[in-house]
Amino acid sequence: MLTFVGEGYTPAFTANYRRIAERLTAGEEIKLVSGPDDICAPLLDEKEPHCFKDSVIERDAAALADVVALLGEELAPGSVVVPDASLLAKLRRHFASGDIRHACLGCEWTGLCSRIATDSFKGVLVGQTT
C-alpha cells in the first residue's frame, strides 16, 4: 500500500487496487483481516491463488509485527486503522529507512518498492490528493 504506483500481478488486480487506493485516499478505514483481503480479491479465482501461499501469509505477519512495534499499539484481525496523512508519512519514513521492511524479504516486488522509497514515494496512489 505504501508504494503502490499502479503496477501489479494482473490487469484486474491493478484495476482493483487502484479503486482501493482511491477509497483509502478519500478517508476509508482499513479493517485488518486474517487471510486474503480486498486487494487480493481478483486473484482468488486462480487455480492456485497467490494470496494463500505460505510466503504471503508470513509476509503479512511480518508486516503486522513491524507496524505494531512501530506504533506501539496492539493490532490484530478486526482492528481498524485510519490511513491518514500523518500515519502514512510515519509509515513511509520508517519504510524508507528500513525499519519496517521485514515483510519484503523474498518478495518479487522488493526492487520496485525500494526504488519508489528512494524516490521519496513519487507517484504513489494511496494518500496522494494531487
The ranges assigned to domains in the chain are 11-118
- With 0.85 as the threshold, say if the pTM is over it: yes
10 Å CB burial of residue 59 (0-12, 13-18, 19+) is middle
Rg of the chain over CA atoms, in angstroms? 14
Q: Which residues of the chain have pLDDT under 50?
A: none
* Beta bridge partners of residue 80, listed in sequence order: 31
How high is the pLDDT of residue 128? 76
How high is the pLDDT of residue 129? 57
How high is the pLDDT of residue 109? 93
